[in-house]
Amino acid sequence: MKKAIVCGAGIGGMVSALSLSAKGYDVRIFEKNDYAGGKMGELKRDGYRFDTGPSLITMPHVIKDMFKSLGRNSEDYLQFEKLESSCRYFWNDGTVFEWYSDHEKLKKELTDVFGKTESDNFDRCLDYGKKFYELSNETFLEGEFRLRNFITTEGLKNATKFISGRSMNDVANKFFKDPKLKQMINRFATYNGSSPYLAPQFFSIIPYTEHKFGPWYVKGGIYRIAEALRKLCKEFGVQINFGMELTGYESTSSKISNLIFTDTDGEKHEVGDFDQVISNFTSLPGLMQDDYLTDDDWSSSGFILFLGMKKEFTSVAHHNIFFSDNYEREFIDIFEKKIPATDMTIYLSTTSKNEPEEAPANCENWFVLVNVPYMTDESAWNNQAKEKYADVIIEKLERFNYVFEGSIRDQIQFREIFSPLEFRDKYGSEFGSIYGLSSNSLYTLMKRPKNRSPKFKNLFFAGGNTHPGGGVPLCFLSGKIVADLASETD
Ligand SMILES: Cc1cc2nc3c(=O)[nH]c(=O)nc-3n(C[C@H](O)[C@H](O)[C@H](O)COP(=O)(O)OP(=O)(O)OC[C@H]3O[C@@H](n4cnc5c(N)ncnc54)[C@H](O)[C@@H]3O)c2cc1C
């Protein structure tokens, strides 16, 4: 029986472990934290429950297909719920826009808020994203990254679109006149930690796929997905060893021969009995090519406030965005100056709107997320800096008085902060970035880690830092791609 070691029990790690197990491998996972799920985590405090990472699922069929491939019915583990609206958008001038998942309702909202012409332009913009989806779906998302996937006649014809040099913002400018509508389309670049002013137009695929497949939530919280995978691991005999951090390895010229894990007491454990190694992270020095960690184009990080709110806010939806006044300046701050923006766009998710039991009666569980730069300075997020930035965010929210009608601060029962420092230390992500190398240029996109190690024949990479990209469905796909590659390799 062939043996595989999976390092990291994030989504990509667990999916690759399960897929290899289904192929007859003996698989063991080693995870540094004491829970499975990585960035898909959960926080419970004083009767409030929060998802600490993903809050919205698109393409749930990818997850369901994976369960099916294991001979399981996802409905026995998870209950997906389609949301009526993916997000409620707010601007300082009092404009509110509901992004309905139903196309007709959305078109009516577009016409009501932005006028008929912009509503028609919206359809054209979605069609533009559809072209990229159709070209890339099978070749790009479901298999190993290969340039030759595009060297068909159709691929060559379309290759110019991929290398056009146009950004997402150019797409927004091409189709829309209204700056607010442009801002909404541009926001989708942040789904993979990029700037819309830099990220290639290829990413107009994101609004298209979200609208095509709809916004989904999982009953009981997104974290239930991580729990379901952990349960499957148990059913498939995949052992997860918690509190085991990969801290080193030994190799021959072409293969990893020994893995060194350090447990929570600092004791070292050597594991050498394996055929293949899958890593669910790329941050361990030496694992990637030598110059990998010297790169300076990482995706954005996040600054999260978990707020227990003593009140219900009737104007707030499950998913909300409070836009900054100058979107371009915000991204210049994040990606060029590499400083947290003072006029920031704020994402607020409160699952208790859908599931009241996730907060005490008449209260709300607020997950507040702001995009911030990856870490360039160790001291940037000391306690004082964290508290100060949390205050700036709350002040900014309070300026949306037409939504909150009074002080937010007075309604906070508790607040917990999660900064880029925690992203780096808890998840082992490079410089606190959420998605590893950015997708801000074709050049960096090409440099993003592939699923097969360029250094070692028996090493593979799964997860959001690798191909096909970040986000829960893509991490599922990467796990599957990696299991296929590993099992085809001697
Ligand atoms: C705040 C936030 C919001 C998000 N929102 C969404 C969303 O709404 N929708 C969506 O689809 N996606 C979202 N994402 C992205 C999504 O969560 C990630 O892309 C996905 O969960 C990453 O999975 P992964 O397989 O890359 O593993 P990770 O979650 O990165 O897990 C890697 C695992 O490896 C472990 N590890 C690291 N180093 C070591 C080591 N040396 N030894 C042993 N173990 C180690 C870590 O502890 C971790 O468990 C969000 C992410 C964040 C952080």
3-state secondary structure of 249: strand
Q: What pLDDT is stored for residue 152 in this prediction?
A: 58
By residue count, the chain amounts to 490
Answer whether 321's CB lies under 8 Å from 89's CB.
yes
Answer whether 40's CB lies under 8 Å from 312's CB.
no
Please give the span between the terminal C-alpha atoms of the chain, in angstroms, as a whole number.
13
Percent of the chain with pLDDT over 70: 96
3-state secondary structure of 416: strand
The rounded distance, in Å, linking the Cα atoms of 268 and 83 is: 47
Burial letters 309-344, b for 16+ CB under 10 A, else e: beebbeebbbbbbbbbeebeebbebbbeebebbebb
Q: What pLDDT is stored for residue 379 in this prediction?
A: 85
Cα 385 to chain center, whole Å? Answer: 25
Average pLDDT estimate for 47-67: 97
- Per-residue pLDDT for 93 more than 80? yes
The rounded distance, in Å, linking the Cα atoms of 33 and 487 is: 27
Q: What pLDDT is stored for residue 403 in this prediction?
A: 97
Q: What is the mean pLDDT of the chain?
A: 95
Q: Which amino acid is at 107?
A: K
Residue owning tokens 């790169």:
295
Q: What pLDDT is stored for residue 416 in this prediction?
A: 98
The pairing of beta strand 42-45 with beta strand 48-51: antiparallel
The pairing of beta strand 216-218 with beta strand 80-82: antiparallel
Query: Which has the closest alpha carbon to 462: 291, 279, 261, 290?
Result: 279
* Residue 385, number of CB atoms within 10 A of its CB: 15
Q: What pLDDT is stored for residue 114 in this prediction?
A: 98
pLDDT tens across 284-341, in order? 999 998 889 998 899 999 999 999 999 999 999 999 999 999 999 999 999 999 999 9
pLDDT tens across 98-141, in order? 999 999 999 999 999 999 999 999 999 999 999 888 877 666 77
pLDDT band at 445 (very low <50, low <70, confident <90, very high): confident
The pairing of beta strand 256-263 with beta strand 244-251: antiparallel
The rounded distance, in Å, linking the Cα atoms of 87 and 342 is: 23
Closest Cα to atom 53, ligand 1: which residue?
A: 53
Q: CB under 6 Å to ligand 1: residues?
A: 7-13, 30-33, 38-40, 53-57, 245-246, 280-281, 284, 302, 304, 369, 427-428, 434, 463-464, 470-472, 475
Answer whether 368's CB lies under 8 Å from 389's CB.
no
From ligand 1's centre to the CA of 121, what distance in Å? 35
CATH of domain 3-40+220-293+441-488: 3.50.50.60
* Residue 237, number of CB atoms within 10 A of its CB: 10
Give me 417's structure tokens: 């902060």
Question: Pocket of ligand 1, candidates 19, 141, 269, 280: which has the most ligand atoms within 8 Å of its Cβ, to mutate?
Answer: 280
Closest Cα to atom 46, ligand 1: which residue?
A: 427
Answer whether 368's CB lies under 8 Å from 395's CB.
no
Average pLDDT estimate for 256-276: 98
The rounded distance, in Å, linking the Cα atoms of 453 and 469 is: 16
From ligand 1's centre to the CA of 306, what distance in Å? 18
Answer whether 11's CB lies under 8 Å from 21's CB.
no
pLDDT band at 469 (very low <50, low <70, confident <90, very high): very high
The rounded distance, in Å, linking the Cα atoms of 485 and 144 is: 8
Give me 111's structure tokens: 């016409």
Closest Cα to atom 32, ligand 1: which residue?
A: 10
pLDDT tens across 389-409, in order? 999 999 999 999 999 998 999
Query: Which has the closest alpha carbon to 295: 451, 462, 450, 443?
Result: 443
Average pLDDT estimate for 80-93: 98
3-state secondary structure of 251: strand
Note if the bond before 373 is cis, omega within 30 degrees.
no
- Per-residue pLDDT for 10 more than 70? yes
Q: Which amino acid is at 21?
A: S
Give, in degrees to the nearest 5, the angle at Cα 407 between 53 and 327.
Answer: 55
The rounded distance, in Å, linking the Cα atoms of 248 and 262 is: 9
The rounded distance, in Å, linking the Cα atoms of 21 and 7 is: 15
pLDDT band at 143 (very low <50, low <70, confident <90, very high): confident
All structural domains of the chain with their residue ranges: 3-40+220-293+441-488, 102-213
Indicate which atom in ligand 1 lies nearest the CA of residue 478.
25
Residue owning tokens 């900064």:
419
Cα 399 to Cα 36, 147, 183, 345: the distances in Å are 38, 48, 19, 13
> Across the chain, which distance is largest between two alpha carbons, in Å?
66
The rounded distance, in Å, linking the Cα atoms of 373 and 381 is: 11
- pTM, rounded to two decimals: 0.97
Question: Pocket of ligand 1, candidates 34, 39, 190, 474: which has the most ligand atoms within 8 Å of its Cβ, to mutate?
Answer: 39
Where would I find the H helices in 49-115? 60-69, 103-114
